[in-house]
Chain A
């Protein structure tokens, strides 16, 4: 080619692929199967959504009026049941006059969790802040000091209980999980075996059996005369359960650390615990954050099981609120939808946060 080179400027394509209409065409009517599916699904939506909208919104009763709800039964949702019963659902059997206490305690706890998620607050005083928040929580809930009325732990319930059990068991299970994971990878056969037995035993049985064990057997484990609070029993049960699953996740992270790092550390003269603390664990834990977040979501969902051992957290409190009340019992579905919304919001927010964290960590690693 002997001609002089002539530069060609960029121009627009003959058929635009961006924009709403081409997107619709490609994604909804790409081929005949896709078009058929679109038509079918839209038809289905038109069939189902309007009646549901009627029930949920148009004919719904918002006021806590049992008669109005009965009258609208079948054709309209009774959201009034929430207006009427929400304080039992949210706070369980906690004495009505003192319900400002669990309210503040829960808000504090949630604020602390949210603060821990934001990078700006990752400072050394975060640990102290948590201790302060936990102390405040228990003082507010339990009372007995500062002129607050004492409230027995088996009266605690609803959302505060859910939040407390989840947060506390995650806190307590985490160090245990790290120790067990390290133990599982230990060179010493006795320690390794003990850890493996613990992990496989707990992971092989359902949480409900661990809770039964906590509920029925822990009192037997205590020395003569000592009683153990029902809340503590359940907390220990959930913590032991969560720690086994977390240990497996941490172990996955530990396995991914190249052996060269350990060799470099020992060459530099670092001891076992120093190596773990300064080199292995920071990397391993950062690597497994997404799986850990998934695990945290599972723990939050699992707290609903303590209903079975008679601690009335959110799900149990609902049963408490409605089973005995003949007037409002027919409207359980609306109440279930209410707490479904609560669980969903919390878990969905956590999973979105987990994706964000994954994105943040992924930036620093080359893929």
Chain B
């Protein structure tokens, strides 16, 4: 459009004013700076105003609360600050993963609590995934009894509060099991009693480090084998078993490592003494109750997640795969599972987080997790704000870390759409 002409418009009397000649001289690509009109009717100004008001309100509330807190703490003589973390704790902890005694600091005690929480959480996550996936898949079984059992399991464990379940499991361990003097045992190797569950464990020796190295080497060989198999498949069209060799390599190389390290054979085996069971590794009834309770509760939710994930893959996908000649196993591996996993993994991670947060209920049973120890610290030092802040910080880190991982996974694996 040549400069200086107006676009003719149809309609009575509607003619655009002639644009000034300066328009044509303006450099292309630079967006004109808009002059801001400061009026209350401007959307931008109103937006700023609302935000300013909101921030002001939040700040006012925060100031009000902080001011009151400070006042109240002065009046009651409560000190603040985190310096108490260096003081001696003065209380004992029932089970610890690292060395600890009452003369050590509160900080160390809390760290023991964190480790205990991680221990039950990580083990719980592994076990509950196995159980949950089995129950979830069992809902699709051809056998009506298996289907009914899985359905009954899910409804039973989902509709009862976790606290109640933990209390019942603990009661089971404390009331139903025999006293340590007459523990139940299986083959004189596994003992179960009110004192806990003991099982034999190898005594740590240098040879075990060698075995670990061998295992890693075996896993590396397995990874190499799988990559090679994929390459060979793409080249020739013939697929071979991708599991046998990695598993065999892991076992053989681990064994070789163990042999090379001196073949350590000593085991610590629990044995029944007059008043207790000694030896091996023993898990306290508190730990067992928390672990089993959390695992069975969360598995019900995971089973539902797995079930809805598998159901989300439309039946047409199975039909198309069948029509192409793929076997049931190939269908599952190449078509159904990849799609189902994308739907399953985000809510599954949510359940892992729930399990971790629910482990905080261990305080009711007496398992010394981070909440329990922070609670004791709080009662002894009176530093309520700081202790609660520590608890929240620990769990926040776990949650935010997992969320970040989940966001990365979602971006990476999402099925691409228009």
Contact = CB atoms under 8 A, between A and B. Distances in A.
Interface stretch (B96-104, B153-161, B191-199): B153-161
B349 interface: no
A348 interface: yes
A204 to B, nearest CB: 3
A305 interface: yes
Interface residues of A, number: 55
A224 B156 contact: no
Contacts of A330: 175
Secondary structure of the A side of the interface?
Answer: helix
Contacts of B384: 212, 216-217, 220
Given A30-B143, A220-B68, A304-B164, A206 B171 contact: no
B162 interface: yes
A205 B145 CA distance: 39
B160 A37 contact: no
A205 B158 CA distance: 21
A190 B175 contact: no
Interface string B133-164: 00000000111111001000001101111111
B371 A209 contact: yes
A223 B357 contact: no
Interface in B49-71: 50-52, 54-55, 58, 65, 68-69, 71
Contact of B171 (A212, A213, A315, A332): A332
Interface stretch (B204-212, B286-294, B393-401): B393-401
A297 to B, nearest CB: 7
B47 A200 contact: no
A17 interface: no
Interface string A146-168: 00000000000000000000000
A203 B68 CA distance: 26
B385 A217 contact: yes
Given A315-B167, A340-B164, A188 B159 contact: no
Interface string A86-115: 000000000000000000000000000000
B68 A224 contact: yes
B160 A30 contact: no
A32 to B, nearest CB: 11
A307 interface: yes
B72 A220 contact: yes
11 contacts: A33-B143, A34-B141, A37-B143, A204-B400, A206-B361, A301-B161, A330-B175, A333-B171, A336-B171, A340-B164, A351-B158
What are the nearest 4 A-B pairs in CB distance?
A204-B399, A347-B159, A27-B144, A190-B51
Interface of A: 26-28, 30-31, 33-34, 37-38, 41-42, 187-191, 194, 200-201, 203-209, 212-213, 216-217, 219-224, 297, 301-302, 304-305, 307-308, 315, 330, 332-333, 336, 339-340, 343-344, 347-348, 351
